Homo-oligomer: A and B are copies of this chain.
Amino acid sequence: MLTNPRAERVKAIRALGRRSARLRAGRFVVDGPQGVREVLRFAPHTVLELYVESGARHDDLVTAARDAGVPVHECDPAVMAALVDTQHPQGVVAVCRPMDVSVEEALAADDGFVVVLAHVRDPGNAGTVIRGADAAGARAVLISDASVDLYNPKVVRSTAGSLWHLPIAVGGDVAGLIAACQARGRRVLAADGAGSTLLPDADLNSPHAWLMGNEAWGLDEHTRSLADDVVRVPIHGHAESLNLAMAATVCMYASAAELPELPPV
């Protein structure tokens, strides 16, 4: 039982809240039962250690971790509070290796749709789009450079476990990601309020990639010009726009409705 919140190993895990420490250590933290359950289910080989608060009711997760050969450390509440920088620790934390894939692997599937996030900065938005991509049946998510770090604790939390449900690639400039999608036969649809094609009129019947821009400034004109079409979600009322996660979800569900090859629900 770990009882010293000032132990070096505890400090080293808490430091993983910072991007620089994550890069140096090549690991990140999954906080809370939902994420821990999903990583143990979908990518148990990436889990390096599990920390569980004594008395917290996470026996199923402890069993799953032991079954996967993951070392389990029991700790007291003070240690749990020191491990992660969250207001309400949920009694279980996993230290994991990254699970992102190369752009090539992310684009291995040649059907359905993928999502490309260009310069998305808000962790909640990025995580929510990944969760929506999973739900809508996206084949992969690609995140450009100059975006929020995929392993930021807020991104991880807001994916609600979807981080491990579909291939995710990180890095690469936006133009290169667009070209990579097109080279593999995907039409690139830029989602932007400046689009001339309304979503209900967009061609979603062939393999495509949704390109979503930054939450504040959208997609610049040059980037839009690289896409095969620029599509806008219709605004029926007086709202100026939808936020990024909502617009992405509406676009992806429009794709899901058009794609016969999606698995049945």
Copies of this chain, whole number:
2
Q: Nearest chain B CB to A248's CB is how many angstroms away?
A: 9
B interface footprint on A193-213 (CB within 8 Å = 1, 0 otherwise): 000001010000000000000
B interface footprint on A108-137 (CB within 8 Å = 1, 0 otherwise): 000000000000000000001001111111
Interface size, chain A (Cβ < 8 Å): 41
Residues B137 and A236 in contact, CB atoms below 8 Å apart: yes
CB closest chain-B residue, reference A262? B236
B42, B243, B257: the one contacting A128 at CB < 8 Å is B243
Which residues of chain B are near A240, meaning CB under 8 Å? 34, 160-161
Q: Nearest chain B CB to A208's CB is how many angstroms away?
A: 16
**7 shortest A-B CB distances, which residue pairs?**
A137-B236, A165-B238, A135-B239, A134-B237, A134-B239, A234-B265, A246-B249
Can you list 15 pairs linking A and B with CB atoms under 8 Å apart? A42-B238, A131-B239, A134-B239, A135-B235, A135-B241, A136-B236, A137-B236, A161-B239, A162-B239, A166-B237, A233-B253, A236-B262, A249-B250, A250-B253, A253-B253
Question: A residues engaging B (CB < 8 A)?
Answer: 34, 38, 42, 128, 131-138, 160-162, 165-166, 198, 200, 233-243, 245-246, 249-250, 253-254, 256-257, 262-263, 265
